[in-house]
Chains A and B, each alone.
Chain A
Amino acid sequence: MKSKNTSRRSFLSAGLILPVVGAASRAGFASTGTALFKSPEEATEKPSAPPKLEFRTLGKTGLKVTTLGFGCMITSDPSVVERAADIGINYFDTSRNYQHGNNERMVGAALGAKRKQVVLSTKTDTSKKDSMLQELETSLRELKTDYVDIWYLHGKDNIADITDEMIEAQQIAKKQGKIRFAGVSTHKPQQLLPWMAQKGVFDVALPVYNFTMDAGVDQAIDTAAKAGIGIVAMKVMAGGFKSVKPSDPLYSRLKKDGAMLAALKWVISKPNIATTIPGMTDMDQLDENLRAMANPLSTGDKQILAAHLEMIKPIYCRMCGECDGACKQGLPIADVMRILTYADGYRQFGLGRERFQQLAAEHRAVRCGDCDECTVQCPHGVRVSDRMARAQELFA
């Protein structure tokens, strides 16, 4: 390390051979050194133009966010987060409970000194005021910051799940300056968003939203947006299912089949959506997603999405809620479908299994093969009992 500057954190990069440009004051995940192995082309190659960034205002928060944000839930490589921040992506989302509680630490270390230049959100799953505020302290410590921009109530799919106590905890945290804005994340925008619009205590909503969803979801989002609530879209890839088999010799060429990028562009094309938080685990995904900010949704994209929808129909749950309560064994169908998508779509087997193991014991014990006949009919063509049986085989 040749740098003469001694910053508070400079010792952290002292293990690295040479100062890393742009990351010197951070934890320095981006590199172990400068490029040692230069090819002849490298000398002549001009750096490509920086990716075009597109900004929108996040509702009444007034925050200016890039339309591509970064969902950090399944990222294990901090240098991907670091690079995204270097490029100028300015919305980063995590949660206290991601990656066994280690994801916030990873995000905090990767953002380092850039934390104040970005909008950072985290979430809590707890429901008592004291435990919520305690969790927030942990989040701040792990994220190495003294405030988060948005603090979400995590995964609230029923209005009844949100208590006055939770709202109070958010208000207290706001007064203490530990959070700037209050949010709710939900897989049921149809129910939650109109209610949030009326309630008036929330600044941001984080709903599921993608090209598979019907007009009811658009209306709910519109109602919330008109009430000034900033909209951050999650699950924008509709499961991330790939259409090319990895065993296909053409896989490496065609793995970017365009459907993921098209799905992202579709969401960004909706003016009510301020930003999106696709999960990104490597540089290739980041590079691909960045293109969505520079290229509008095209006719070709729409065709790709129509074909992709046809393909994922029997496996992807659109979270419409039609099957709620339909299983005679009481299975939370949509939850199990989501969990299965973590393995089949996101390719995160461990995550899928852990979430399954968190289901109630009586739900984990159900085996769909034991029912003569399935009472669940998906209006969108998901083969529910097959998918449930698969989840049971994989995870139970």
Chain B
Amino acid sequence: MKVAKVYDGLSIQLRICMKSKKTSRRAFLSAGLILPVAGVGARMGLASTEAGLLNSPEGHIEEAHASPAGFPMRTLGRTGLKVTPLGFGGGFTADTSVVERAVDLGINYFDTARAYLQGNNERLMGIALGPKRKQIVLSTKSKASDKAAALKDLETSLRELKTDYVDIWYCHDKPSPDNVTDGMLEAHVTAKQQGKIRFSGLSTHANQQQMLPWMAKNGFFDVVMTGYNFSMDSTVAQAIDIAAKAGIGIVAMKVMAGGFRSLKPSDPIYSKFKKDGAHLAALKWAMGRPNIATTVPGMTDMDQLDENFQAMSMPFSPSDEKLLDAHLELIKPLYCRMCGQCEGACQQGLPVADVLRYLTYADGYRQFAMARENFQQLPAAHRAVRCGDCADCTVQCPHGVRVSDRMARAQELFA
């Protein structure tokens, strides 16, 4: 089955102009706020503390211009769900109002996980979505491998998300068929029967070449969330194609390839050029690939949301391609493409790709604590390794990552 780009004529209107007069069950919650917030009156009202004291007179004109006429929706494989090409990766968002604004803009795919933000991200997501939850596609994930634990996770997720179902429930981070237990699959079957999940998914950062064809053959999963970006070779695209042909909906994550920036913050022109275009180009690249229904870049503030939002109305251009070529050159020694070539190569047994991913949380995403917490969850034997102790490193990255340097940096920062 080919994933079609469906232009279903949905005209997504900004809801900021709507002045809701309704009083809802939850209206008391916004009573702490001075004035009802237009368009979010029925929600928790985190987006504002009042109605915009300092609006300039020309506000209404700009408001009209800011409203998108509508953007293409895509079908998420056999689920038939219609999703916006830009989705929202909630993993490390701490500001509820960014999620709120995204949904107001018309973004309709929101992703979280039981594990994100120390277990607090689902609650944040549920609150920010409020009654709009039913208008969007909501996914969460569980890492649990036995049935009872997975179903318990799901109950917690539903409670935290303030909903009675999730649209997609992912087995979280399963880069090998061996990671997928019968218990997980049984939990998914039960949850589907109970109407608590609509579709089953699996997420993987790596080993797509094996995982995605396996999923296609196995037939159990409706959706895959896969690491995918401009740094990856054609075998990943081929694996995605096999899955998509089997009707599996494709959600691309890690589309920014680490989010590394090319400008020094200490540079005097930083504030003007911090958006160097590489991230937007990376996003456009992923959206422009065949088979990709939606993408889930992490967004922590309005600037990132606004920038990413543009990707839906701009095609990938030759200058984007140049930007990405240059950006790839820049991130080459730092960024792990998760090709899996180095698996088992470290004589100390380090899970090199995992450590590189954690380091990217600090160096690329700028989320130091999240990086360190992930590192601290490695087995003690791996946390104890110091690359400086090896006379000679046995890991050779075919893409030029300076592995032992990067491992040493992770050890210095997090161990």
Contacts and interface: CB of A to CB of B under 8 A. Distances in A.
A313 B50 CA distance: 11
Given A23-B266, A245-B48, A390-B44, A37 B326 contact: yes
Interface in B243-268: 260-268
A77 B59 CA distance: 33
B326 to A, nearest CB: 5
Contacts of B378: none
A118 B128 CA distance: 40
A77 B362 CA distance: 7
Interface string A273-303: 0000000001110010000000000000000
A221 to B, nearest CB: 28
Interface in A232-277: 241-252, 254-255, 257-258
Interface stretch (A52-60, A97-105, A205-213): A97-105
Given A76-B366, A102-B368, A347 B266 contact: no
A367 interface: no
B104 A247 contact: yes
B327 interface: yes
B273 A36 contact: no
Interface in A5-56: 9, 11-12, 14-17, 20-23, 27, 29-37, 39, 42, 45, 47-48
A15 B406 contact: yes
B379 to A, nearest CB: 19
B330 A386 contact: no
B46 A344 contact: yes
Contact of A255 (B16, B302, B373): B302
A359 interface: no
Contacts of B28: 386, 389
Contacts of B370: 76
Interface stretch (A125-133, A179-187, A349-357): A349-357
B301 A282 contact: yes
A2 to B, nearest CB: 13
Given A32-B262, A353-B123, A394-B127, A283 B274 contact: yes
Interface stretch (B34-42, B77-85, B146-154, B170-178): B34-42
Contact of B40 (A45, A47, A247): A247
A23 to B, nearest CB: 7
Contacts of B323: 37
Interface in B311-350: 323, 326-327, 329-331, 333-334
Contacts of B14: 247
Contact of B330 (A32, A42, A383): A32
B353 to A, nearest CB: 15
A30 B369 contact: no
A389 B29 contact: yes
Contact of B266 (A22, A27, A244): A22
Contacts of A36: 262, 276, 326-327, 329-330
A9 to B, nearest CB: 7
A32 B331 contact: yes
A32 B334 CA distance: 8
Contacts of B372: 102, 105-106
A76 B54 contact: no
Contact of B366 (A45, A79, A252): A79
A109 B414 CA distance: 10
Interface string A337-353: 00000011101111101
Contact of B413 (A105, A311, A350, A393): A105
B31 interface: yes
B59 A12 contact: no
Given A343-B96, A349-B96, A35 B402 contact: no
A248 B95 contact: no
B95 A349 contact: yes
Given A22-B266, A83-B266, A347 B52 contact: no
B100 to A, nearest CB: 7
A312 interface: yes
Given A35-B264, A246-B302, A307 B53 contact: yes
B56 A246 contact: no
Given A30-B264, A315-B49, A257 B120 contact: no
A155 interface: no
B31 A252 contact: no
A168 interface: no
Contacts of A114: none
A164 interface: no
Interface in B362-401: 362-364, 366-370, 372-373, 388
Contact of B369 (A39, A99, A257): A99
Given A311-B49, A312-B49, A393-B29, A246 B98 contact: yes
Nearest to A340: B32
B264 to A, nearest CB: 4
Nearest to A102: B369
A37 B413 contact: no
B115 interface: no
A76 B302 contact: no
B268 A47 contact: yes
Given A37-B323, A100-B118, A243 B402 contact: no
A386 B266 contact: no
B51 interface: yes
A133 to B, nearest CB: 23
Contact of A248 (B26, B55, B366, B368): B55
A243 B121 contact: no
A389 B31 CA distance: 10
Nearest to A368: B28
A314 interface: yes
B270 interface: yes
Contact of A244 (B54, B92, B265, B402): B54
A243 B34 CA distance: 11
A27 B412 contact: yes
A77 B369 CA distance: 9
A86 interface: yes
Contacts of A20: 264, 266
B261 A32 contact: yes
9 contacts: A78-B362, A78-B366, A247-B47, A250-B55, A252-B303, A287-B271, A311-B53, A345-B49, A386-B28
Interface of A: 9, 11-12, 14-17, 20-23, 27, 29-37, 39, 42, 45, 47-48, 76-80, 82-83, 86, 99-100, 102-103, 105-106, 109, 241-252, 254-255, 257-258, 282-284, 287, 307, 311-315, 343-345, 347-351, 353-354, 383, 386-387, 389-390, 393-395
Interface of B: 14-16, 26, 28-29, 31-34, 37-40, 44, 46-56, 59, 62-63, 65-66, 92, 94-98, 100-101, 104, 117-118, 120-121, 123-124, 127, 260-271, 273-274, 276-278, 301-303, 306, 323, 326-327, 329-331, 333-334, 362-364, 366-370, 372-373, 388, 402, 405-406, 408-409, 412-414
Given A23-B266, A42-B273, 12 more contacts: A20-B264, A22-B266, A30-B264, A32-B260, A33-B330, A35-B273, A76-B370, A83-B265, A242-B49, A246-B98, A247-B47, A283-B270
5 shortest interchain CB distances as A-B pairs: A77-B366, A245-B48, A347-B95, A249-B66, A31-B264
